[in-house]
Each structure stands twice: as structure tokens, then as C-alpha cells.
A = this chain, B = another copy of it.
Amino acid sequence: MSTDVVRFDYSELSDWARTCLTEAGASGEVARNVSYYLLEGDLLGFSTHGLIRLLNNCQWLRDGKSLAKGQPVVLRERAAVANWDAQFLPGPYVVPQAIDAACKMAKQAGTGTVVVRRSQHVAALAAYLSIATDQGLVVSLMCSTPGQRAVAPFGGKEAVFSPNPFAVGVPSSNNPLLFDISFSMTAAGKVRQAKANGTRLPYKALIKPDGEWTDDPLTFFESPGSSIAPLGGEQLGYKGYGLTLFSEIWSMALSQYGRRQGSDDGDANSIWVQVIDPEAFGEKQKFLQQVDDLLADSRKSAPAVPEQPVRIPGEGAQKRKREQLQQGVSYSSATLKVLQHCAEFCGVDLPKAVNG
């Protein structure tokens, strides 16, 4: 075990995080959800969107930037859709409710869609997918950030969009297929990480104000700074640009809450949730067989590098979760500092490390 990784017992860490949130003012139900889903992000390996965001969540609660209790308001609904105003309730409290509502609609109508405005930061979309897949349902999630401009349109050098994630969960006969990707060449968190580590990005993902491409993370923080390029890069960036418009329209435009409304909303998100019930289209077993076939075909493709077999999206994350539940949830020393800061902020001592 690497000496610069600290591990905590899952239950002890979960109790600690929940208590921090309660101390910061959250209701019991809000605290339970926010601690659970942030920690789920860490378990699955989305470490930039795990408990490292607990301090932010506690600060937002103290500052009134997150609502500590309450329910989203339903603005409009039909048989298969709803538009909610979350009034800045924490994302990890709002998203599971939106997925639950979408699951109920899907079981009736075949699909269920909930768009949400003014959800406080949702953290890792991957953390929520199993709510639907555990029920045999298919789910897709997207979100955008009205207060953020980091990604340029294809052909442009000025940032217009947020680096929007797209996450998908699909049940199979074995483990579900899970992925959570952004439609841009990198995420703002990875640029910050490279800057902190004093390294370059692994490839040229940024466009400087002079129109040149660069892998230098420092240019992102200059004024004017560089912008993140859409997925596809210099040749195929029109695809990432189209996908980014897709994610911004499906989340912001449908929820009717975009950059004109939310430019001062910080990390708060506009969200798209859609759940599909495969049984609305045919027998459940036949759907699962189709998914099994696709995943088996993928796995059988001979690897380009012999010792690296093709992987199924989500299998690494689910393995990491099982390991961390057994051996303890691991944090880098940099993240540990943020957790310690949060412990002080809330006045709740961190549990002892299990490898301390």
C-alpha cells in the first residue's frame, strides 16, 4: 500500500460526513443523502467529485447558498415529464428524488424525464446510476452549469459552455454498464490538478487566446485564459460541439434556466434525468440478453495492446468500490487536507485512518 494514501473505514467516514453536514445545518435526510452520494463518488473512483466537495457543501449550507431542508417545487408536469425548481437544495439530495420520480413515470408510460433548475452542485453523476439499474431500468443523466464558461465552441477560442457530463446506466445479467464522461477534451478539475502537480496535460486540450492549442494548464488561469476544446479536437471537434449543445439544450433550455438566469449561481446545475423501462418494449430477459451480447462482443475484440484486454465501462469503478469497502476508502494527501479543513470547519473530528 502506498504510504501517501490514507484509508478510512467506510462506515466511520460516512458517519463523520453526515455529522459534518448536520452541524452545518442540513436536515437529517439532506445530510444522509449528501454524505452517501459524495462517498459513493469516491468509492467508484471519481475522486474530484467525492468527499473533497464536502467542505463546499458545508460552506454552502452555512452561507445559505444551499437550502438545508425542503423539497423541489414542481413547475410543470405531464404523464412522462416534469420540470422542477430545486431552489438550491443540494444536488445529492435532489438527483435521487428526480431519478425516483422518473422511474415511477417510466414504469407507467415507458419513459420518465425530469429536468431540474437550481440544483446545488450534483457532484459525480456516476454515483446515482444504480438507483435505476438496480430496478432493471435504463438511465441517462446530463447536467450543465449556468454560472460557468470553460469550453469553447468548435472553431472558437472563447469559452461559452460548461464541461458537461453525460452518464449512462444499463442493467445486464451481471454487473450494470455504467459510464460518466464529459463532452469536452478534459474537465476543469483535471486542469486544476495538473496545475497543482506542476505537470502538463497529457495532450493539447486547451485553446489559447491567440488561437494556438496547448497542453499548458497555467494558460487556463490567465486573463484572458485558454478554453477547453470540445471532444474530437482539431479535426472532429464539431462532434463534441454538437454534443455539448445537445447537453446544454436538454438540461438548460428545457428546464428554462440558462446563463442569462444563473450566471451568478456558482456551481449550481441544470439537470436532465431520463429513465427508460425496457419492459415497455418487450420481455425483460430478451433486453438483458441483448445487452449481454453487446458486452460479450466488446470483450471478445482482440486488444490492440496484447496485455490490455478490452474493458466494459464501469467494471473498473465497480471493482474499486468493492475493494474500498473492504480495505477502506483511500484519499491522497492533498484530499486529506481538504477533509481535515472540513473537520475543523464543522467541529467534527475525522475518524482514525485504518492504515495510519
Interface residues of A (CB under 8 A from B): 75-81, 83, 108-111, 113, 115, 138, 140, 152-160, 168, 170, 177, 179, 181-182, 185, 202-203, 207, 211, 231-233, 235-236, 238-239, 241-243, 245-246, 248-250, 252-256, 258-260, 274, 276, 278, 280-283, 286-287, 290-291, 293-294, 297-298, 300-306, 308-311, 313
Contacts and interface: CB of A to CB of B under 8 A. Distances in A.
Nearest to A240: B231
A79 B269 CA distance: 30
Contacts of A259: 293, 297
Query: Looking at A111, A115, A159, A202, which has the most chain B CB atoms within 10 Å of its CB?
Result: A111
A245 B295 CA distance: 9
Contact of A310 (B76, B155, B182, B260): B155
Q: Across the A-B interface, give the 9 residue pairs with the lowest CB-CB distance, nearest first.
A: A81-B110, A156-B301, A253-B290, A78-B110, A211-B304, A80-B80, A80-B109, A83-B281, A179-B242
A242 B168 contact: yes
Given A109-B81, A170-B249, A253-B287, A294 B258 contact: yes
B168 A246 contact: yes
Contacts of A293: 258-260
A276 to B, nearest CB: 7
Nearest to A232: B231
A79 B110 contact: yes
Contacts of A108: 78-79
